[in-house]
Chains A and B, each alone.
Chain A
Amino acid sequence: MSAVMISRRNFLVTGLTAAGGFAVGLPLGLGSAQADSASAGKIGFYVEVRPDNSFVLGTAQPEIGQGVRTSLTMLIAEELEVPWERVSIEPMPLGIVKTADGYTWKYGGQGAGGSTSVTDAWEFLRQVGATAREMLVTAAAQRWSVPVGRCHAEAGYVLCDDNGQRFSYAELAADAAALPQPEEPPALKPQSEFSLVGTPRNTIDARDIVTGKARYGIDTEMPGMRYAVIQRAPQLDAKVVSYDDREVRQVPGVVDVFKIDGPEPGAPYHILAEGVAVVATSQWAAFEGRRKLRIEWTESPWKDESTETFWAQTAELLSGEGQVVRDDGDFVGALSAADKTVEARYQVPYVNHAPLEPQNCYADVREDSVHIIAPTQSPSGSNRAAHTITGIDREKIRVDMTRVGGGFGRRLTNDYTAEAVLISQKIGAPVKLVWSREDDVQHDFYRPSGEHEFKAGLSADGKVTAWTHRLASASKYYRRENVAPEDMYGAEMYIDDFPAGIVDNLRIEWLAVTSGVPRGSWRAPAHTANAFTVQSFIDEVAHAAGRDPLELRLELYGDNRELPYGQHGGPTFNPWRLSRLLKHVAKEIDYGAERPKGRAVGIASHFTFGGYAAHALEVEVGSQGELDIRRVVAAVDCGVVVNPRGVEAQLQGGTIDGFSTALNLEITVDQGRIQQSNFHDYRIARMAEIPRNIECHILPYGDTPTGMGEMGIPTVAPALTNAIYNACGVRIRKLPIADQLAKQLS
């Protein structure tokens, strides 16, 4: 995966000086000379004041549905002191600047992954708003010839405390833009004075969406543009032997057919698979042409791989020893000294990202420039992909970002940009490449599959004295040059996750599965698998100990304290914050109530990328295995809440994604080929299959926010399978749940 190569940290140190003489340490150029456009009302990169005193604020981050165009804009508007009703947004392109030390960000870091947008922008974008506001106040003070301290900003105006007069920002914008930028960012207002941040706000550009005006990558139309599709190798890593395009070229509108060379098996990739491109004058002609292609493929080096061989391999690996990646205390001794031991294995399947907007990319490769328009989570990765193929200077490669029809991690990888660039380069014209749904289901960087083995030791009084988690999986670090074999586990096991630091004698092992199935980041990456397995096993341990699963968790999570957490989402983890959520959801769902036979509650809680979440579900399981999810209570602690309406949306959506995936989603392999191909056999849940109400609770904490894109998912599957066990005694240890209940109960 072409990850962002530009350090976010680097930006604050050098970014602005590199961008043209801005003050070091101030993360934004605000002088008019540094604005991208010469518009009279433009104050720096992000703020534009229109003549009617409305405000257009730049959004630099990819909007994939996580709501950043709204939440990040709120941060600017809070300090800019403008009425939210008068704010609109303007998407910004990728901004990178070459320095002596490599590339750095022009507008601040750009990329949507790891739920970092709000956290990273929390100070920076408030400083953007505050700086522009202070320049407007200074411009007004100069006009009135009064000290700056005698003026203040309010609702899009600067008011003079001495003479009672006021100027609109529109009247001041040109003067403000000409002022030197302050050397230090102004002090930010205390959170107690927030008037916008923390209030529920609707999606700022929703009207465009509901009227069909919102533009996605797939909607791109440019003069002279061709349309392209690619027939990719149906079997993993197969190559083109030959192809017959005679019938293809008979299809009206088809203008070109050619081979796209794929990467060598196992080598770092720029595109996923080898294939044959069909270029046409319309999208439909390209699809029709592709249907007529006759391609002979080489035998896949993975022709013997199937889902069955995958599980045979994990079983074989788990019978041996793995790479010990964390070893606390004396696990072996503690286990053998235990009064009772518990063990279980769980299986998690490969799953497809399936963003609803199929992959697509517009590319126009010229002699010394490239223009890319793409739905991407990583615009700098898109830029780099184009640079790698063309050799053109990265500053000459423009990347425009559209609204993105779902990300889920798929669009952190820019293979489709690389494909579009290759095609544009070959035909010497601009092109829009579009994938079909079949292309997307069959050619993905899937969420890794794996088998998890747990063992725990219990003392006579029911305390957990020993714990091991061993995982056999294929790392999502897929074909990476820069990851050593001994570091591959890092994508699959976050070694400071619960119960590390809590159970004294603990061992974590990883075992590498060999698989040809491409892997990548899928919303909340390894947290989905690890929350499912750890939160299932803690229930199994509680039942073995004769203890209540909630009570055992509360004991283990313990007092309010910060434990060191070295992975993404750290530097610390406070398990007590999970207890706080669990107590809340338990109360809401009436955890201790007597329920009729077949009906029960299940709980789970997990720390994901700095945020804390818990679910409590009430289910009823019928005698034939019919599953009815009767109540869903979800709670999240994402620190300071910027936009409660957006947080609720992410918690609802994450919960529904969790249900959809746990209930039915699985990618299987046979003879080195993905067996699913579209939504008829990769069944994303429809509305009728999802509980009608998701009760969402937001419990703010502390003085900084975390993101919300990912923490809603991981606890859904274990809360569901724990509830199922409590209701009917069937322990689901393999996802998806699918028809397992019917098979076991009827």
Chain B
Amino acid sequence: MISIYSCGMETFSVNGQPAEFEGDPATPLLWVIRDHIGLKGTKFGCGIGQCGACTVHIDGRAVRSCMTPVSGAAGKSVTTIEGLAPSEEKLHPVQLAWLEMDVPQCGYCQAGQIMAAAELIASNPAPDDDAIDQHMTNICRCGTYTRIRKAIHRASELSAEGS
């Protein structure tokens, strides 16, 4: 899909594709991503920035898209779970680690968890448990935290190995 997102005079990209949105600039980025762009991997969980199911990257920084007005993405580069992997065949190290550690149960929070973890690994290539605790504030209702922790450590190794 190629469309241009204009917020006032600004535009931004989603997963490398320029796009267009003509609605209220206060509309949360979450709903623009889900309902206007049609990328459903980013989830709605609480609408107040608590659970993190809606986590996406704006210029590489993890944000809660349910609390970010679309105007806040103006001129910036948005990455969603669909755009995290370098290619269809080659997954991101965090995604690979998530598969290896068999993290998901219901899976609903996992896109947000993965986006949060990807930011952590990018800024801190070998996070210790305290760093993980501090960074990972997303809610998993199924209780996959044990495996998320293992997967982040594993992603750190995979990243170092260059996969």
Give A contacts to B, CB under 8 Å.
63-67, 202-203, 206-207, 209-216, 218-219, 221, 227, 252, 282-284, 287, 354-358, 403-408, 434, 436-438, 645, 649-650, 652-657, 660, 678-680, 684, 686-688, 690, 692-694
Contacts and interface: CB of A to CB of B under 8 A. Distances in A.
Contacts of A212: 39-42, 80-82, 111
Contacts of B95: 210-211
Contacts of A405: 43, 106-108
Contacts of B159: none
Given A202-B99, A656-B143, A686-B137, A357 B106 contact: yes
A653 B146 CA distance: 8
Interface in B37-71: 38-48, 50-51, 53
Contacts of A438: 47
A210 B97 CA distance: 10
B35 A649 contact: no
A215 B111 CA distance: 12
**Main SS of the interface on chain B?**
loop
Given A66-B105, A679-B139, A687-B145, A218 B43 contact: yes
Interface string B126-149: 000100111011111111111111
Interface of B: 23-24, 27-28, 31, 34-36, 38-48, 50-51, 53, 80-82, 84-85, 91, 95, 98-99, 102-111, 114, 129, 132-134, 136-149
Contacts of B147: 649, 652
B62 to A, nearest CB: 15
Contacts of B50: 678-680
SS of A interface (majority): loop
A66 B148 CA distance: 17
Given A209-B107, A649-B102, A355 B27 contact: no
A206 B98 contact: yes
A696 B136 CA distance: 23
B141 A355 contact: yes
11 contacts: A206-B103, A209-B104, A211-B95, A213-B82, A282-B36, A356-B106, A356-B108, A436-B47, A657-B143, A686-B138, A687-B137
A656 B43 contact: no
Contacts of A407: 106
B118 to A, nearest CB: 11
Given A214-B107, A358-B44, A653 B98 contact: no
A221 B38 contact: yes
A723 to B, nearest CB: 19
Given A354-B141, A654-B143, 4 more contacts: A212-B40, A437-B45, A687-B133, A687-B148
Given A65-B106, A210-B99, A284 B28 contact: yes
Contacts of A354: 141
B157 to A, nearest CB: 17
Contact of A210 (B48, B110, B134): B110
Given A212-B81, A219-B40, A406 B106 contact: yes
Contact of B47 (A207, A437, A649, A694): A437
